[in-house]
Amino acid sequence: MAVDLPDNVLITRLDELVSWCRKNSLWPMPFATACCGIELMATGASRHDLARFGAEVFRFSPRQCDLMIVAGRVVMKMLPVLQRIWMQMHEPKWCISMGACASTGGVFDTYCVVQGIDRFLPVDMYAPGCPPRPEQLIQTIIDLQEKIQSEGTMFGREFEDPERQRPKMALRLEGRKEAAELAQRRGTP
Amino acid sequence: MSTQETVKSLSQAFGPLPASHFRGQTRVVVPVDRLHEVLKFLKEGRGFDFLVDITCVDYLYYRDAVDRFGLVYLVANTATNERITIRALVNDPDPEAPSVVDLWRGADWMEREVWDLFGVRFTGHPDLRRILLPDEFSAFPLRKDYPLQGRGERHNFPVITRAES
């Protein structure tokens, strides 16, 4: 049974529509701990203008955000704070690991700096650079928008994917020698 | 009023103390059991009213070094702009030095920092606990025998998954 649609009506999947709404209204939570934070501020400022991508409303409360941008190195004293903030954010939520330090620890291979937040938190996008220029961060946000549009579902089924369940580095460490080493190190204070 | 005179008055009061000068800076090495007396003398007798910093050096693996830790006290006289460095050497297994919080209240956090990073205990400190590192940290990371990459402290966290958060 054919239904006549007027020309100004189009049909789509609900998931597509919801993802389209979500991707164009990202509310970043700036977790800026180092020089990446300066670039993050520049990205939000008028010259680079994150408003062009619908992500200009930075909120400093995790309750009002859905995109955590971890900009800068995270030390062992800060990681429990970071994890708590992540837990406080409402779903659906995404995480960008901005810069070398947040992604891998960068040059700070010392006792107190966490060697990549993706060992302990799920991360969706990585922005390379030290620090990344605003263009790079904007590209990361565009890529994240693409990811939300292509994979997003209304009830967040895509987050149940085992790949996205676990933090990436924790996944990679599993079943490897390093994991055993890690467990051994955990035993000793 | 010069640093020379200060050093002279120090040696008059406490006997000869090894002193050295380098690029306008004067350094006096003091035995640790007389450290408090010396600093008190400097503060009350010579007008050194400002404690700039307390820090520490670990001389483990250092060429020709005899003592393990060198405590460094930088004091200044704000009236005459005179500065002097007092050093005291402390050793394992239980490095200890007298607290100077009773002379300068500002020494409180400085001594806590030295305790936190080097494990030098300051006797008489009102509240000697860690200041920078988390309370549950069990090592003194600026000691030279502590590995740079730590003993797994940075790995010791729960892994948060999407399902949990």
CA distance A180 to chain B (A): 12
Q: What is the pLDDT of residues A111-165, one digit of tens each?
A: 889 988 988 889 999 999 999 999 999 999 999 999 999 988 888 888 887 777 7
Q: Any alpha helices (H) in chain A, and if so which ranges?
A: 14-23, 35-44, 79-88, 99-104, 134-151, 162-165, 168-173, 177-187
User: What's the pLDDT at A179?
Assistant: 59
Q: What is the pLDDT of residues B128-155, one digit of tens each?
A: 999 998 888 888 999 999 988 888 788 8
CA separation for the pair A163, A173 (Å, rounded): 13
Residue B82 forms beta bridges with which residues? B77
Domain edges within chain B: 3-164
- A112·B150 Cβ contact <8 A: yes
Instruction: Report the b/e string of A117-131 with b at 16+ CB within 10 A.
Output: bbbbbbbbbbbebeb
Copy the structure tokens of residue B148. Answer: 């740079």
Which residue is closest to B139 within chain A, CA to CA?
A: A189
- B146·A111 Cβ contact <8 A: yes
Q: What is the pLDDT of residues B64-84, one digit of tens each?
A: 889 999 999 999 999 999 999
Mutate to test the interface with B, among A112, A158, A173, A174 (most CBs of B within 10 A): A112
Q: How many CA atoms lie within 13 A of A8 on its CB side?
A: 0
Burial class for B13, CB neighbours closer than 10 Å (0-12, 13-18, 19+) = middle
Copy the structure tokens of residue A152. Answer: 């997003």
At residue B35's C-alpha, the angle toward residues B16 and B96, to 5°, is 130
How many residue pairs bridge chain A and chain B with CB atoms within 8 Å of each other?
83
ipTM of model:
0.78
Burial class for A3, CB neighbours closer than 10 Å (0-12, 13-18, 19+) = exposed
* CATH, domain range B3-164: 3.30.460.80
- B148·A160 Cβ contact <8 A: no
